[in-house]
Amino acid sequence: MTPLLHDLRILELGHYVAAPFATRVLADLGADVIKIEPPGDGDPVRTWGARVDGNALWWSVHGRNKRSVTVNMRSIEGRALVLDLVRQCDAVVENYRVGQLEKWGLGPAALAAARPGIVLVRISGYGQTGPDANRAGFGVIGEAKGGLRHLCAYPPGESDLPPVRAGIAIGDSIAGFYGALGTLAAIHAQKRDGATDCRVIDVALGEAVLSLLEGCLPEYGLLGRVREPAGSRLKAAAPSNAYKSKDGAWVLIAGNSDPLFRTLAGLMDQPELASDPRFIDNQARCAHIDELDGIIARWVAVLDAEAVLALMDEGNIPASKIYTVADIAADPQYLAREMVREVDDPLLGRVLHPGVVPVVEGLDRTSQIRWAGPAVGQHNDEVLGGLLGLRPDRLAALKEEGVI
């Protein structure tokens, strides 16, 4: 079975996280993604995080399934090469500062002239319009403006420490997902309508994060209620919290329906809890959540995590140890589904990668990772020579001139 997006070609004019994440999602599903990088060091993410022999481990995943081509977009010749590549593509994905493409003569009108019906996906801090459009913004700013960072704080009164980040560039990744979705929707619409103009998809980091905030806006608009941080709890349903086991692990237990709570109470050898007026239904349990969490915490504290989880499995109660990456790498379910697998990386050797999501029925999951993140400009000859037909002497001249 061929990959789902094998007939799409995407040009990535992105750097750092958001746009490259969007194109990685598309590349994982089979799209031919051509990533433009500046000659020399390439995308700055190549220097982020842990490195082996100067090569960033994150890049192995972040750049996988893409073809790397170096182009100096500040040069006239470089921008001409980009337009030549646009002619071969279905969409362009970028995350430069607002107006930068226009300064280079690569705005929507120029792209449509080169390739009628092209899709341009633009990911930025605040969007292409509005009073803040020209402000600088990274994913962490989107998380703050979108309301997520506030909800990641400790519950009121528990700590004076600042709200914590998610531990990953989640704001960028959420915007990247919307960018990938917008890419596919716009390509579909352009082909359906036979459009010749450039269809622009505008994704703002803060808006992408804000879109995930469940009922926070209607709660505020109708009730004047500002949702506050809840820590590890799910305040709308109880019990749903993390409890520390005897061996020091955090075990998350979500026994928050009435049938599940009755089962949990029995497994704890405290069946009377299910008929206690304080815990008789979800509303009552939420009203007495401190007492309930205290009871469960004391029960978990005298058992090892595996003993707790075995009991939860016996009662079919959703539960898990809070995993570290070491737990993930050893998890039988992830391994059985090849969600954690080794990939040959010419720059690093054998590297663990997360599998491609979603699983596509009929397609071998291992085949979806076609190659790891490439070296800077690894595909110059293949793309500029093979796709655009530039002769070797011309490629050599462009390299000598610093264009590629």
User: Mean pLDDT per 10-residue run, the chain (404 residues)?
Assistant: 95 96 98 98 95 95 98 97 98 97 98 98 98 95 97 90 93 98 98 98 98 97 96 92 98 97 98 97 96 98 98 98 97 97 96 97 93 98 97 97 97
Q: Distances from the Cα of 174 to the Cαs of 76, 111, 203, in angstroms?
A: 34, 26, 10
Q: Is 225 inside a domain boundary? A: no
Q: Is 234 inside a domain boundary? A: no
Tokens 């237990």 map to which residue?
253
Domain count, the chain: 2
Please tell me which residue in 32, 43, 90, 172 is annotated as part of the active site.
172
Per the rule left: phi > 0, alpha: psi between -120 and 50, beta: everything else, 338 is left
Q: Which domain holds residue 109?
A: 9-211+335-400
**What pLDDT, on a 0 to 100 scale, did the predictor assign at position 235?**
83
298, 322, 346: which is the final residue of a domain?
322
Instruction: Say whether 393 is catalytic.
Output: no
Asked whether the whole model's pTM tops 0.85, one would answer: yes
**What pLDDT, on a 0 to 100 scale, did the predictor assign at position 191?**
97
Q: Is 61 inside a domain boundary? A: yes
CA distance 44 to 38: 10
Whether 284 and 176 map to the same domain: the answer is no
Task: Answer yes or no: are the C-beta atoms of 287 and 300 closer than 8 Å.
Answer: no
The CATH number of residue 252's host domain is: 3.30.1540.10
Whether 200 and 70 map to the same domain: the answer is yes
